[in-house]
Amino acid sequence: MARAPDVHICEVAPRDGLQNLDIFVPTEAKCALIDTIAAAGVREIDAGSFVPPKVVPQFADVDTVMAHALTHRSATIGALVPNVKGAERAIAAGVDVIYFVISASETHNQANVRRTVDEQIEGFRAVRAAIDARPVGQRLQLMGAISTSFGCSLEGEVSEAAVCRVARAFAEARADEIGLADTVGYATPKLIGQIVAAVRREVGPQMTLRLHLHDTLGAGLANAVAGLEAGIRRFDAAVSGLGGCPFAPGARGNIVTEDLVFMLERMGLSTGIDLDRLMQTREILARHIPAKHLSGHLHEAGIPKVLRSAA
């Protein structure tokens, strides 16, 4: 059995990376993107979101894309859901993990899912109950994601207490993992350490935590290092830095998976990801997405020889 990597990376480009684009990426291109990501050795892929097509047209083909993604048994295949109905669709599709999102910011939660935080917490409990009603061997994983954990473009600063409130609710409802999301990219390394420590005190050492970072203000990789120093070993990232938030105009996307992998490997931390293969995703994306949406230092500079010689 292959040794587990030191750092686990979930690739979110097929979902978070594409959801806010104003162009529809063809189904075959989404499937090819997932194929290349899986071939690179990525162990978890956020492959889509079960939402009404009129709300997010990009996922009108989510059933087809998800069925294709699930043929890759080497990777955990997940889907984001905003409510119980979406969770029911995800369960029926056979996904491995559901990501259920609640914002620490009340204003952002209302704008994002049109519910109060308390209503969304009740929705999470209902999803947990639906999963627990299934036979033991058919119970998928359930992650609670806390959006705007490090700031909000609508409210500004988000209090530690607001983040911990949602984290506590997730833990009490038996989430399998909690994700802390820098949705609009306002975090700093110091804030990363503070919020991670606060949530850890709130939910205890047994709960698995991950970070979902955006690079709006250029601090994405620095924040990842701060996460490592705080004990985080699970991160979300997107190839070519795809993504953004509709409530943060002009915001850049997720931290770039290729750059994150390079940095981690140079720090002596294994990811289990073949960087050369991962870089091939750019060719797929560039055929369908304008260059202005694609970023990444390695794509601009190339992979330094120092890494190739160390491989």
Contact by Cβ (8 Å): 157, 151: yes
- Please indicate, yes or no, if residue 2 is contained in any of the structural domains: no
Which pLDDT belongs to residue 62? Answer: 98
Please give the residue range of the domain that contains residue 179.
8-310
Q: Active-site residue 245, yes or no? A: yes
Number of structural domains in the chain: 1
pLDDT of 74 higher than 80: yes
Is 1 within a domain? Answer: no
CA 114 to chain CA centroid, Å, is 21
Catalytic residue among 10, 31, 152, 245: 245
Assign 307 a pLDDT band (cuts: 50, 70, 90).
low
CATH of the domain at 140: 3.20.20.70
297: CB partners within 8 A, 6+ apart: 256, 259
Percentage of the chain exceeding pLDDT 70 = 96
The answer to whether position 210 is within a domain reads yes
Which tens digit of pLDDT belongs to each residue from 13-51?
999 999 989 899 999 999 999 999 999 999 999 999 999
Residue 271 is assigned to a structural domain of this protein: yes
Global pTM reads: 0.95
Residues forming beta bridges with residue 102, ordered by sequence position: 146
Q: Of 169, 107, 90, which is closest to residue 115 (Cα–Cα)?
A: 107
Q: 3 lies in a domain?
A: no
15: in domain: yes
Average pLDDT, the chain: 94
